[in-house]
Structure 1
Amino acid sequence: MSCSPKSPVLKRPRALSLPDQVLKHVIFKMQLQNHHDSRSPSSAASPTSLSEPDLSAFRSLALDQTRPDSISLLSDELLLLIFSKLPVSQYLLNSLVCKRWLYLHGRLVQSVRVLDWGFLDSGRVFARFPNLTEVDIVHACIRSPRNSGIIVTRKGLSIHMDSLFSADGFIEEMDVLKHSVVDDGLRLIAGWYPNLRRIRVIGASVNGLLSIAEECQTLQELELHCCGDLALKGISGFRNLQIVKLIGCIDRFYSAQISDIGLTILAQGCRRLVKLELCGCEGSYDGIKAIGQCCQMLEELTLTDHRMDGGWLAALQFCGNLKTLRLQSCQNIDSSPGPDEYLGSCSTIEELHLLRCQVRDKDSMKALFSVCEAVKDIVLQDCWGLVDEVFGFASICRRVKLISLEGCSLLTTGGLESVLLCWKELQELRVVSCNNISDSDITSALASLFSVLKELTWRPNSRALLSSSLAGTGVGMKGGRFFKRLKS
């Protein structure tokens, strides 16, 4: 068998890149123009010589790095003004351009959450971010494995955990920095940031809080974790504090006691409070009464997982400017509200929010609606035990304009109708994920009420939503078109 000789392989010329093609085209046009304009015979060029122009001069020009950088001529003040006009999401990307932009980026940042205590103790945070107004050092005060993939979150606090932890809780006493160490960090912060507006800290004592109060006269918002009654003595030095959040106890995380003593100290030291949130705090009628009498500017009160003694609801009548009452993750509302004649009422409350609360106790729910009888907005979300009888106590509130129900699976259409028809000023209704409320049970009186509402959101259960979206398609019906097509 003879083999035919292989034909020579022709190598294809390397394709020019886009810039080379453009330059080649430009030079070719220039040479053509010179060829037609020239009258001397020696200037005639063959087509072959015009097809391969010399690009070396243009490449050397493109690689010339001696041209000055126009941005470097701008002052820091002008660049900061330009950067401040950009979205905050662009700050981090701009800081990666060069060292100068990284330096300027640090002067634009005003809020930082410190994760490593060494970053604060060494002073690097002050050199990197000299103009901070909001500082969060809670996570830096807790020793936890930062590279762990296990994250535990509870009451807004998230920490990294490993597979080995104590049976008593996720955070042990040795995992939190000592009070003296935290106080030293607060002194550094107070010395570097006199214009501080907001701070979050855990495990601070009186001395640390007083150092912040003396140096940071403009501080308006304070969040304290794992603090007791005695630590609240340091709050007396704050003159312009308006928002306070106290976290005394979080199950399986840490536990600190805040009783009527601490609430009274807080009330006497912060008379300009506008918003107050108490999480895992103890107390009773006396503590809430002290807050109502001393903090006359208080407009919003939030109780999260409270451990209040019975009878605290009656103290709300002393809150003369309270507009919003919010209860979150509470196991009970008031274990012993007492007789109706001692409850009184808070006529200034306009909004009542209950989120993830146990509302099975009929006496406490009746007392709550009685105290908030002048409320205009009621929001009930994922509340356990909200049966028709419990919801019926809401008819005490005659001025309701907005009602929002979400995740109230025990409430029926009849129980909802009995209350809605009592509210003559109702304007907005929102019903979402309430499985016992169905479209088929709507009466003509309830339908006529829906027609006059300014805003109506009606998604009581997923089954009704699914049936309405599949109406007319034939899907889900016995012997529908889909199944007939398969049989044929």
Structure 2
Amino acid sequence: MRGHDRINSALPDELIVEILGRLESKPSRDACSLVCRRWLALERLSRRTLRIGASGLPDALVSHLARRFANEIVAVGQRAYGGSHLGRVAYIGPGRRRMDESTLLQPRLYGGSDKSGLGDRVTESYCLSDVGLAAVGDGFTKIEKLSLIWCSNATSVGLISIAEKCRSLKSLDLQGCYVGDDGLAAVGDCCKQLEDLNLRFCEGLTDTGLVKLALGCEKTLKSLGIAACARITDVSLEAVGSHCRSLGTLSLDSEFIHDKGMLSVAKGCPLLKVLKLQCANVTDVALQCVGIFCLSLEILALYSFQRFTDESLGAIGKGCKKLKNLTLSDCYSLSDKGLEAVALGCSELTHLEVNGCHNIGTYGLESIGKSCTRLSELALLYSQKIGDIALSEVGRGCKYLQALHLVDCLNIGDDAIRFIARGCRSLRKLHIRRCYEVGNKGIVAVGENCNLLTDLSLRFCDKVGDEALIAIGHGCSLRHLNVSGCHLIGDAGIIAIARGCSQLSYLDVSVLQNLGDMAMAELGDGCPLLKDIVLSHCRQITDVGLAHLVKKCTLLESCHMVYCPGITASGVATVISSCVSMKKVLVEKWKVSPRTKRRAGSIISYLCVDL
């Protein structure tokens, strides 16, 4: 009967809260909150995470939210957590507001000077301060996860307020905050459940604060991140190694950490599973100790090490049998011998990245292909000594490979890609950039054999042409395609993609000089789910093709079309008027009419201010 409430009169508050708590979609929850005042109140009660894009005065905003959402945790700022949220989460960071050409920050954005200092004051007024942190502590005492990222106005005073009132805190991210030792010591004294701590770019901290925290959270601390903290030295790591035996994740980026500190952690933290190091003064001695004592290690990332040798990887191979993920970046002293040791000892390896390690070549990667049969992702970047034979072994041995990334591997060509295509039929992602020996034959083999492929990127592979994309269109259902700079590709290849890949949502065809309006029309007909397209430097595309594209691709959210002489102000206006979901248009400034600017100025970006 019209006007009769069949729900509110029958369902108790507890049941409605339970239903609202099971809604994972934010739009769905927001819609439910608009039904009536009762549902609005109950939705607030059931909400565990509230994301706010801060503007205005963040201190006042947080205070207001603390009063309005008594049981909620607030996320304010530029970043937001993705995925599901377990526990109560807060992200508080520097607020953003849209600025036009008259903003006081304009001189600084374009490299000018701000002699008045007004720009700094405007920026700081949009950063949370100790007053806001006190409001968080007063209003959200049950908070479990708190991120204060680049909050330059927050000091130890605010952090002490949080520590004293939010004693259930389990995760604390202080990246870029200039807090001092007193604040960190207070966290150690009060937050006895703290598990995760990020101190990246905390320049105000010294060993004193971190040592006190290690003593206070010795039973619970599981994850620690440190980067660019000049006054945190081996003394801190010795305290962590002596007291925090439950530590499972350690990320270090420091010139002030030496073997002494790392030895303490390796010997004192046997449960360590994740280790990421960029420490110029750590040597083989420390990593060999990791191989001996950290037998539970699963993820190891080594960046820019010149003092590590194959002996280090030999120790890892002998001791860390559970290793699954290995990243070697710019480690010039490592060779095939070290990679072979890892391959023979770490048969459970699933992810491998070799980036700029110029002494690792074909033989080392062959060992991986022969021994690591569970490999699911392989990335080879700037690996000049690795040839086709290496990938042939990967194709034979790694049947479960799902992702392959190749960047500037000049000795890898079609033969290697054919071996991968025929052996790794579960391949879902293939990214190749500036591998000039890869051409049609290899990509045709991928189209014929890898039917599960959804993500293909062939940037600046100038031997790849229409024949390759025709095979891909016939054999794969792509969602992501990037063929930027593949100048042999024209209408025929993109038409094949349009007709065969109806689920396509991202397309980059920039710098394709032979691509024209016919392909745009076919994309409009065949790819209605397209959300992002990059057309920059396509000289043959005109307003006519663009109109055909946007007529049916109404879900478009971003369109880049700079340096397309055939696209005029009329074409830009057509895109704006046809795509109601559009969030970003990149175009030359002179192609935007006053009317278009008034209608959608907030989503238009310019390559340069004036031409």
Question: Do they superpose with TM above 0.5?
Answer: yes
CA offset digits 1:357-399 (Å, max 9, x no partner): 324x143775576478522325345x54355844533455563
Query: What's the TM-score, normalizing by structure 2?
Result: 0.52
| Aligned-partner Cα distance in 2 for 1:163–1:385 | 38
Any conservation in 1 of the 2:198–2:226 contact (CA below 8 Å)?
A: yes
Using the TM superposition, give the Cα deviation of residue 81 of structure 1 relative to its aligned residue in structure 2, in angstroms. Answer: 2.7
* Residue 158 (structure 2) aligns with: 208
CA offset digits 1:182-237 (Å, max 9, x no partner): 33333322222222111122354444333333332322111123123343122122
Flag the 1:341–1:352 CA change in 2: closer, same or farther, 3 A: closer
2:98 matches 1:147: yes
| Aligned-partner Cα distance in 2 for 1:68–1:84 | 26
| Aligned-partner Cα distance in 2 for 1:341–1:429 | 25
Structure 1: runs of 5+ lacking an equivalent: 1-64, 151-160, 250-255, 483-488
Corresponding residue pairs, total: 387
Q: Per the alignment, in what secondary structure is the counterpart of residue 172 of structure 2?
A: strand
| Aligned-partner Cα distance in 2 for 1:341–1:472 | 39
Flag the 1:477–1:322 CA change in 2: closer, same or farther, 3 A: closer
| Aligned-partner Cα distance in 1 for 2:113–2:195 | 35
| Aligned-partner Cα distance in 2 for 1:118–1:309 | 39
| Aligned-partner Cα distance in 1 for 2:215–2:113 | 35
Using the TM superposition, give the Cα deviation of residue 402 of structure 1 relative to its aligned residue in structure 2, in angstroms. Answer: 0.3
Flag the 1:458–1:183 CA change in 2: closer, same or farther, 3 A: closer
Flag the 1:194–1:326 CA change in 2: closer, same or farther, 3 A: same
| Aligned-partner Cα distance in 2 for 1:473–1:426 | 23
* Residue 69 (structure 1) aligns with: 5
| Aligned-partner Cα distance in 2 for 1:342–1:71 | 66
User: 204-213 or 280-289, which moves further after superposition?
Assistant: 204-213
Any conservation in 1 of the 2:211–2:239 contact (CA below 8 Å)?
A: yes
Q: Per the alignment, in what secondary structure is the counterpart of residue 271 of structure 2?
A: coil
Q: Per the alignment, in what secondary structure is the counterpart of residue 327 of structure 1?
A: strand
**Aligned partner of 1:316 among 265, 272, 279:** 265
Any conservation in 1 of the 2:201–2:228 contact (CA below 8 Å)?
A: yes
* Residue 60 (structure 2) aligns with: 121
Percentage identity across aligned positions? Answer: 20
Any conservation in 1 of the 2:365–2:390 contact (CA below 8 Å)?
A: no
Q: How does 1:23-422 map to 2 (within 5 A)?
A: 67-73=3-9, 74-89=11-26, 90-114=28-52, 115-116=54-55, 118=57, 120-121=59-60, 123-133=63-73, 135-136=75-76, 145-148=96-99, 162=106, 164-165=108-109, 175-176=123-124, 182-201=129-148, 202=151, 203-225=153-175, 226=177, 227-235=179-187, 236-249=189-202, 256-271=203-218, 272-282=220-230, 283-303=232-252, 305-311=253-259, 312-327=261-276, 330=278, 333-335=279-281, 337=283, 345-354=292-301, 357-359=303-305, 361-363=306-308, 367=312, 370=315, 374-375=319-320, 376-377=322-323, 379-381=325-327, 384-386=329-331, 389-390=334-335, 392-395=337-340, 397=342, 399-400=345-346, 401-402=348-349, 404-406=351-353, 408=355, 410=358, 411-417=360-366
| Aligned-partner Cα distance in 2 for 1:267–1:314 | 17
Any conservation in 1 of the 2:58–2:126 contact (CA below 8 Å)?
A: no
CA offset digits 1:2-26 (Å, max 9, x no partner): xxxxxxxxxxxxxxxxxxxxxxxxx
Letter in 1 for 2:308: D
Using the TM superposition, give the Cα deviation of residue 437 of structure 1 relative to its aligned residue in structure 2, in angstroms. Answer: 7.0
* Residue 32 (structure 1) aligns with: none
| Aligned-partner Cα distance in 2 for 1:340–1:66 | 75
| Aligned-partner Cα distance in 2 for 1:168–1:300 | 42
**Aligned partner of 1:467 among 428, 441, 444:** 441
Q: Per the alignment, in what secondary structure is the counterpart of residue 291 of structure 1?
A: helix
Flag the 1:289–1:172 CA change in 2: closer, same or farther, 3 A: farther
Q: Per the alignment, in what secondary structure is the counterpart of residue 273 of structure 1?
A: coil
Q: Which has the higher contact order (CA 8 A, sep 6+)?
A: 1
Q: Per the alignment, in what secondary structure is the counterpart of residue 199 of structure 2?
A: strand
Flag the 1:144–1:218 CA change in 2: closer, same or farther, 3 A: closer
Q: Per the alignment, in what secondary structure is the counterpart of residue 222 of structure 1?
A: strand
| Aligned-partner Cα distance in 1 for 2:51–2:446 | 54
* Residue 600 (structure 2) aligns with: none
Structure 2: runs of 5+ lacking an equivalent: 80-90, 408-412, 418-439, 449-462, 471-611
| Aligned-partner Cα distance in 2 for 1:239–1:222 | 12
Any conservation in 2 of the 1:378–1:404 contact (CA below 8 Å)?
A: yes
| Aligned-partner Cα distance in 1 for 2:113–2:96 | 19
| Aligned-partner Cα distance in 1 for 2:289–2:147 | 36
Flag the 1:205–1:302 CA change in 2: closer, same or farther, 3 A: same
Any conservation in 1 of the 2:156–2:182 contact (CA below 8 Å)?
A: yes
- Once superposed, what is the RMSD of the aligned Cα atoms? 4.6
| Aligned-partner Cα distance in 1 for 2:72–2:447 | 59
Q: Per the alignment, in what secondary structure is the counterpart of residue 416 of structure 1?
A: helix
Any conservation in 1 of the 2:273–2:296 contact (CA below 8 Å)?
A: yes
Any conservation in 2 of the 1:326–1:352 contact (CA below 8 Å)?
A: yes
